[in-house]
Amino acid sequence: SGSGSSSGSSSCFSTEKRVGEVSRATKETSISVKVDLDGSGKCIANTGLGFLDHMIQQLSKHGRFDINIECNGDLHIDDHHTTEDCGLALGEAFDQALGARKGIVRFGNAMCPLDEALSRVVVDISSRPHAVVDLQLTREMIGGVSAEMLIHFLESFAQTARVTLHVHNLYGKNNHHKVESSFKALGVA
C-alpha to C-alpha distance for 13 and 8, rounded to whole angstroms: 9
Residue 163 Rama label (left phi>0; alpha psi -120 to 50; beta): beta
Q: What is the 3-state secondary structure (H, E, C) of 72-94?
A: EECCCCCCHHHHHHHHHHHHHHH
pLDDT in tens, the chain (189 residues): 344 443 333 444 456 789 999 999 999 999 999 999 999 999 999 999 999 999 999 999 999 999 999 999 999 999 999 999 999 999 999 999 999 998 899 999 999 999 999 999 999 999 999 999 999 999 999 999 999 999 999 999 999 999 999 999 999 999 999 999 999 999 999
Cα dihedral 34, 81, 127, 44 in deg (nearest 10): 20
**If we measure between CA atoms, which residue out of 1, 30, 157, 166 comes closest to residue 91?**
157
Strands 164-171 and 130-134: parallel
Q: Is the pTM of this model over 0.75?
A: yes
